[in-house]
Amino acid sequence: MTTEYSGSGDPKRSMELLWGVPDRPRRGPKPRLTVDRIVRAAIEIADAEGLAGLSMRRVAERLGVTAMSLYTYVPGKAELIDVMLDTVHAPTAEPDGDRSDWRSRLAGLARENYDRYRRHPWLLQVATSVPVLGPNLLARYDRELTAVAGLGLTEVEMDLVVTLVADYVHGAVRGAVEAAQMPQRTGMTAEQWWRSYEPLLAQVFDAERYPMAARVGGVAGAEYDAPADPARAFEFGLQRVLDGIEALVSARAAPATRVAASTDLAGPGRGA
């Protein structure tokens, strides 16, 4: 799988493109293109073919211009990918969830990110250990932090919590993306694969040698009618991640509760 790295281009040009810093006025005819048109065309190519199919030349062909003309707007593929990343993270609507309930809000944001990966599977091909400091990605980070604000966590813990959820989504969605791409890549669905291999496995599988695999795998396979259920696994795992965060929040709240209880027991005027 092709892997690109965010932030690997010219940082000055990437920041100018991300934040819409205008170029100096130029004389002559009105430009045929805009950065937004170039980025949208690149996203369409990546959505259909992955990053392996993305090049400045392919984008130029899609727009009906020469590749050299694109460099007037975007210096190269690295800077283009940075802007693509930020563009697809533009919020479409407030995620589902009770705004007064941190758990519900965090779950809504996680599902929003999960759906974004499904729409743009090439996101899994970009290593983002160096963050893209664009307006949409910063806005997403701010929304995620806001969801866990006021819970008694330190600033570092807040950052670690939203990173935990983001990392979980990134890992969990891979199975869903692979399952969705399987028909195109292999010519069969997961269900068709299972139907082909199930009778062959039955000829060699020894249930006494693998008793737990036989028992659990049999029940799970019958439940899913497939080797796995990525969407169900995502929701199950998300709730367990939120359970862990809730345990952390409760642990942080416990000392404050004990202090308040001690104060109430002391009563007014005692200890003077």
Q: What is the CATH number of the domain that holds 38?
A: 1.10.10.60
Among the residue ranges 36-50, 184-198, 218-232, the one predicted with the least confidence is 184-198
The reply to whether 36 and 118 lie within a common domain is no
Predicted confidence at residue 91, as pLDDT, reads 82
Dihedral, CA atoms, 72, 75, 77, 81, nearest 10 degrees? -100
Inter-CA distances, 164 with 91, 129, 150, 185, 238, Å: 20, 14, 18, 31, 11
Q: How many domains does the chain have?
A: 2
User: Do 52 and 128 share a domain, yes or no?
Assistant: no
Chain centroid to CA 261: how far? Answer: 42
Q: In this structure, are 36 and 142 located in the same domain?
A: no
Q: Supply φ then ψ for residue 126, to 5 degrees.
A: -115, 120
Q: Is residue 97 part of a domain?
A: no
- What is the residue type of 177? V
Burial of 84 (0-12, 13-18, 19+ CB in 10 A): buried
Q: What is the four-CA torsion angle of 68, 32, 38, 62, rounded to 10 degrees?
A: -80
Q: Following DSSP, what letter does each residue of 163-229 receive, concatenated?
A: HHHHHHHHHHHHHHHHHHHHHHHHSS-HHHHHHHHHHHHHHH--TTTSHHHHHHHHHHHHHHTSS--
256 vs 253, more confident: 253
Residue 243 sits in which domain range? 102-252
Same domain for 83 and 113: no
Q: What is the structure's pLDDT at 32?
A: 80
- Reported as a pLDDT band with limits 50, 70 and 90, residue 270 is very low
pLDDT given at position 23: 54
CA distance 229 to 212: 19
Q: Do 69 and 142 lie in a common domain? A: no
Token readout for 180 is: 């969705």
